[in-house]
């Protein structure tokens, strides 16, 4: 019964037919297995002899472009010189050969289209290194004179001048600063630079991050020396990008993400920017914060409260209390710094917490608004983080979503700061008599306190729409 099940499970139709013909001769599983092995070995030998027969009689030579290939490839490419034997070949035989043979798109030769008998079946291409075709038919090879990767050069002719911009590059590891003339390449997905930038930034090969391979526009793999996290600045704009150092690159190329964050192209690129017919100026709003008034514009009467409120909102519309300001203004004072304990171990989350479907649109809208105000910055692809928390969305009393971030791991690694304030009773006792009193809510007060540059990466959190 076991032998019958093995016989039914055979895939090769010829082998199955032969096994069923000799089923009475098999006494056990070992005899059946030995017969199948012998039959498959005989088939492999027959196929090899058939390929050797097709190229028999050819004078095998070695020519350029076939040094690293099989002798069978050289034999199929070799065209013997015209001799009396060749010239006396009958025209009928030549016509029959042309009728049966076709030009193979794997090797470029004229022969019977048999994949096993094709000279390009096993050898690797000398151009791209892949199996299955030869260099003469490789699609990765450009015709004419070639140049290194560039989004504005094809062959040896330059279509447009390269858009260069002077940027300041700071390596996060070595803290070295260097001014570089970079090329703004809106078609690049990552920032790349040549090995000459490694020396000026005092970067050693051991300090570089190992990254997967990348390809140029022609799908040709590039030799990566490594990658490093660098800060790229242009004027007041700056961005943190992971720069790939390529062995064959001479200049520095800025990716599309870097060009957007540096203000080189608009955020909606490549979408067109709508044309503005005119700008309407409402009121007399200056860019500077107005001075504090010396006297009240109206008498302190009950009926003047609405007029006084309207005047205050108009007079101080450009201050931090203007919640419609883009970007959101920051409060005066030094930036806040997060102090970590010695030996603090980073905590990194790689999967976001789920957000209920009926809140997804509203939560994504709030994140986009915070990015527009300058409160948040979306982490670009390829930038590594050691610290990352999860965003957790909970419900308010009104039923609307409230965004929170689980910073428990970060809080446990922070030093407690001392910030002494007077007691509430003492502050109320210092209020002079016969004065107006009011209660004001600091709208987005925590968002108006600027965070130190070195502490921003500690507050990275992950959402279903990316890291911020």
pLDDT in tens, the chain (468 residues): 566 666 666 767 777 777 777 777 777 777 878 888 888 888 777 776 665 554 444 333 333 443 333 333 333 344 444 444 444 444 544 554 444 556 787 787 777 666 667 877 777 887 777 777 777 777 765 443 333 333 333 233 344 456 788 888 888 777 778 888 888 888 888 888 888 888 788 788 777 887 777 776 666 777 788 888 888 888 888 888 888 888 778 888 888 888 888 888 888 887 877 665 555 544 444 455 677 777 788 888 888 888 888 888 888 776 655 556 667 777 788 888 899 998 899 999 999 999 999 999 999 999 998 898 888 999 988 888 889 999 999 999 888 999 999 999 999 999 988 888 899 899 888 888 888 877 777 666 677 788 888 888 999 999 999 999
Instruction: Name beta bridge partners: 402.
Output: 394
Quote the Cα angle for 65-68-72, to 5°.
90
Q: How far is it, in rounded angstroms, from Cα 435 to Cα 421?
A: 23
Distance CA(268)–CA(359), nearest Å, equals: 25
Torsion from C-alpha of 144, 150, 151, 153, nearest 10 degrees: -40
Question: What DSSP assignment string belongs to 341-367?
Answer: PTTPPP-B--SPPP--GGGHHHHHHHH
Instruction: Let me know if 460 is exposed, middle or buried by CB neighbors in 10 A (0-12, 13-18, 19+).
Output: buried
Nearby residues of 27 by Cβ (< 8 Å), 6 or more positions away: none
Tokens of 88: 């006396």
Residue 247 CA to residue 252 CA, distance in Å, equals 12
Q: Which domains does the chain have, with CATH numbers?
A: 2-54 (no CATH), 71-137 (no CATH), 160-261 (2.40.70.10), 283-319 (no CATH), 357-467 (3.10.10)
Q: Is 190 strand, coil or helix? A: coil
Torsion of CA 272, 276, 277, 278, to 10 degrees: 180
């Amino acid at each position: 019964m076991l032998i019958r099940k093995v016989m039914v499970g055979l895939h090769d139709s010829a082998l199955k037919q032969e096994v069923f013909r000799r089923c009475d001769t098999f006494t056990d599983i070992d005899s059946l297995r030995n017969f199948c092995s012998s039959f498959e070995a005989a088939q492999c030998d027959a196929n090899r002899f058939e390929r050797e027969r097709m190229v028999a009689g050819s004078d095998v030579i070695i020519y350029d472009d076939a040094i690293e290939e099989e002798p069978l490839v050289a034999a199929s490419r070799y065209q013997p010189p015209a001799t009396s034997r060749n010239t006396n070949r009958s025209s009928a035989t030549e016509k029959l050969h042309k009728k049966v043979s076709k030009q193979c798109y794997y090797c470029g030769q004229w022969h019977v289209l048999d994949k096993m008998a094709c000279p390009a079946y096993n050898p690797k291409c000398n151009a791209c290194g892949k199996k299955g075709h030869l260099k003469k038919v490789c699609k990765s090879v450009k015709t004419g004179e070639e140049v290194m990767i560039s989004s504005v050069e094809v062959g040896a002719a330059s279509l447009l001048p390269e858009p260069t911009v002077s940027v300041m590059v700071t390596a996060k590891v070595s803290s070295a600063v260097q001014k570089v003339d970079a090329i703004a390449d809106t078609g690049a997905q990552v920032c790349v630079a040549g090995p000459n930038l490694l020396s000026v930034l005092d970067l050693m090969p051991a300090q570089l991050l190992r990254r997967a391979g990348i390809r140029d526009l022609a799908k040709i793999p590039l030799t990566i020396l490594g990658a490093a996290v660098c800060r790229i600045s242009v004027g007041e704009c700056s961005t943190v990008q992971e720069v790939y150092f390529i062995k064959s690159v001479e200049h520095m190329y800025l990716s599309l993400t870097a060009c957007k964050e540096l203000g080189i192209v608009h955020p909606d690129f490549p979408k067109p920017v709508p044309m503005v017919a005119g700008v309407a100026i409402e009121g007399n709003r200056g860019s500077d914060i107005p001075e504090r008034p010396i006297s009240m514009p109206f008498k302190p009467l009950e009926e003047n409260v609405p007029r006084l409120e309207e005047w205050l909102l108009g007079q101080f519309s450009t201050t931090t209390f203007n919640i419609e300001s883009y970007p959101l203004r920051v409060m005066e004072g030094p930036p806040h710094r997060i102090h970590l304990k010695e030996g603090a171990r980073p905590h990194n989350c790689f999967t976001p917490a789920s957000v209920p479907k009926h809140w997804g649109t509203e939560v994504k809208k709030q994140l986009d608004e915070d990015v527009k105000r300058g409160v948040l910055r979306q982490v670009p692809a390829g930038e590594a983080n050691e610290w990352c928390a999860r965003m957790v969305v909970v419900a308010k009393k009104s039923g609307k979503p409230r965004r929170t971030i689980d910073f428990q791991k970060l809080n446990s690694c922070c030093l407690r700061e001392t910030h002494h304030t007077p007691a509430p009773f003492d502050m109320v006792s210092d209020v002079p008599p016969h004065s107006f009193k009011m209660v004001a809510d600091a709208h987005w007060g925590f968002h108006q306190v600027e965070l130190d540059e070195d502490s921003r990466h500690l507050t990275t959190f992950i959402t279903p729409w990316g890291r911020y």
